[in-house]
Chains A and B, each alone.
Chain A
């Protein structure tokens, strides 16, 4: 008797959990849709900006432009690690943290003094717990992220890179490839690396000169890389949360089915028992 009631109580609890995870899954789906739209709408700007910069860069300009400077040896490096402010999104944050720590170790192994800039509650509390020193620890970036947040991320670092007190800046974020694939990636933000121009640019009138335009556009490019990374990470977080919550809902359903079978069997056994008792009782009276 007590057994079937226990199982029933358990079923209620699992059902409640399932309701919560399903709701979180639906919320994440809605947020994901918006975040994904933002990522897609921002890609055109990044693509065009990259195109024009690629068309303008020449080996000679790469020598003089401060943001393109390739240091012979990296003495001081910075790693910017992005993470989310909230959990319940599977291995999203642990993946980012692992990738970030690997990058810090890589800079360290190459003999560079590395500073760590951490954004998002999850990575910040990880570093606090492990007592890993952080140059920045913040969790107040906008949702959705704005351009001023991108400026916060890299503005200061770009200035320090330009005046030579920093030799490399890498950004660790989650790349939003599609709904199910959002791997953590490392991107070198500074020095700006430009692929060789894909096609010979036509004879443009340049106003001002190529280096004048480049000097103005490269800071925009650096800020935009950070902005894209923020948008992608925001979308990836929702995608990861949706996947995790879907898995949790499915598990709860499976578990609920198992419990229901056990409950029915226990109930049947009880009834059988009771009938046997009644029959036994009736038979005793007849005698």
Chain B
């Protein structure tokens, strides 16, 4: 397994069956319901609906991609939670 991304934000990807990813990141790009949304450190609190597509988590020179669909993305105090009905690392 390659080293996971790392960074100042905490990101969690949770599917109904398990926590798919829990770690740090510098940036997160996710497919929202109406287009991609990018999140960096210091983002305002936000809740948005997810669309279907590939989410990219970058940090510490590493990149990890996830296929996600149906759910939401929540940002609060550099804590990003992605809750998706389907979520799997690519």
Contacts and interface: CB of A to CB of B under 8 A. Distances in A.
A213 B47 contact: yes
**Max count, chain A CB within 10 A of own CB: residue among B14, B15, B74:** B14
Contacts of B16: 42, 45-46, 147, 224, 227
B46 interface: yes
A204 interface: yes
A49 interface: yes
Contacts of B29: none
A48 B83 contact: yes
Contact of B47 (A46, A147, A206, A224): A206
B19 interface: yes
B40 interface: no
Contacts of B21: none
Given A45-B83, A220-B71, A207 B49 contact: yes
Contacts of B46: 204-207
Contacts of B33: 207-208, 216
Interface string B66-90: 0000111010100001010100000
Contact of A44 (B14, B49, B71, B72): B14
B45 A208 contact: no
Nearest to A219: B70
Contacts of B34: 207-208
A73 B87 CA distance: 40
B13 to A, nearest CB: 11
A14 B68 CA distance: 55
A213 B15 contact: no
Interface residues of A, number: 27
Nearest to B43: A205
Contacts of A48: 14, 74, 81, 83
A187 to B, nearest CB: 17
Contacts of A133: none
A223 B34 CA distance: 24
A61 to B, nearest CB: 14
Contacts of A140: none
B90 to A, nearest CB: 20
Interface string B14-53: 1111110000000000001110010000001111110000
Contacts of A227: 16
Interface string A109-145: 0000000000000000000000000000000000000
Given A52-B74, A207-B32, A220-B85, A42 B17 contact: yes
Nearest to A47: B14
A38 interface: yes
Contacts of B85: 147, 220, 223
B14 to A, nearest CB: 5
A205 B39 CA distance: 13
Interface of B: 14-19, 32-34, 37, 44-49, 70-72, 74, 76, 81, 83, 85
Interface of A: 38, 41-42, 44-46, 48-49, 52, 55-56, 147, 202-208, 212-213, 216-217, 220, 223-224, 227
